[in-house]
Chain A
């Protein structure tokens, strides 16, 4: 079956512009996660959605970052007024009630 998909695969933007990153989870997966991976580093948790519950936003680094999940499926991560330190790979993962999170290919964001 289809895995987690993310778009765009690459995004280059100018400092100060807003960007939207999209994630399509595996069909039927109730949980959706966003992580960020800076160059040569491990993954940093950003936000987590589980069904209709309030999202866990504890990892968002600033109020410039927000995310929504419409209809319990597709999610959009929005970064407003991008800064150069926002440059990273943004990874989305989804899971069911079972343990494993399955990751998408990521969006590589470069802020010039």
Chain B
């Protein structure tokens, strides 16, 4: 089974509207971390937001928030007030292991988001 699943086709959103990008994950480890990265056409990977498995509250970073539903094993990214510069590929990733450890990230296949003016 895939550890990170991103199945949405290319997403479109009108500028200034909110959009949700879906991510489901699969792990038997009770300790894990979930990440979202943005990859614009230039190719760099830009960190957006992090959620730890034991965090009680959903993570927020500016216009980004993570809708973490542990029982459903989902970690959807919500972008509020979309901007043209948000057009990019978005990757969900997971680190398995105890908080604070450094270990590899497993990435989903990504979702393409296009923001329409």
CA distance A75 to B16 in the complex (A): 42
Contact A95–B102 (Cβ < 8 Å)? yes
Q: Which of A97, A102, A103 contacts B102 (CB 8 A)?
A: A97
The size of the chain A interface, using a CB distance under 8 A, is 28
Contacts of A99 in B (CB 8 A): 33, 35, 50, 52, 95, 99-100
Q: Is B104 an interface residue (CB 8 A)?
A: yes
The interface residues of chain A lying within 8 Å CB-to-CB of B37 are: 103
Q: Which residue of chain A is the closest to B6 with respect to CB atoms? A: A42
Q: Contacting chain B: which of A11-19, A43-51, A66-74, A79-87? A: A43-51
- Given the known interface contacts A56-B103, A97-B100, A99-B95, the answer about A41 and B47 at a Cβ–Cβ threshold of 8 Å is no
| Interchain CB contact (< 8 A) of A31 among B45, B46, B102 | B102
Residues in A whose Cβ lies below 8 Å from that of B104 = 33, 45, 48, 56, 58-59
Q: Are B43 and A106 in contact (CB under 8 A)?
A: yes
Residue A62 CB within 8 A of the other chain: no
Residues of A at the B interface (CB closer than 8 Å) are 30-31, 33, 35, 41-45, 48, 50, 56, 58-59, 89, 91, 93, 95, 97-103, 105-106, 108
Q: Can you list 24 residue pairs at the A/B interface with Cβ under 8 Å? A: A30-B102, A41-B109, A42-B4, A42-B107, A42-B109, A43-B91, A43-B93, A44-B107, A50-B102, A91-B45, A97-B100, A98-B100, A99-B95, A99-B99, A99-B100, A100-B47, A100-B50, A101-B35, A101-B105, A103-B45, A103-B46, A105-B44, A106-B43, A108-B43
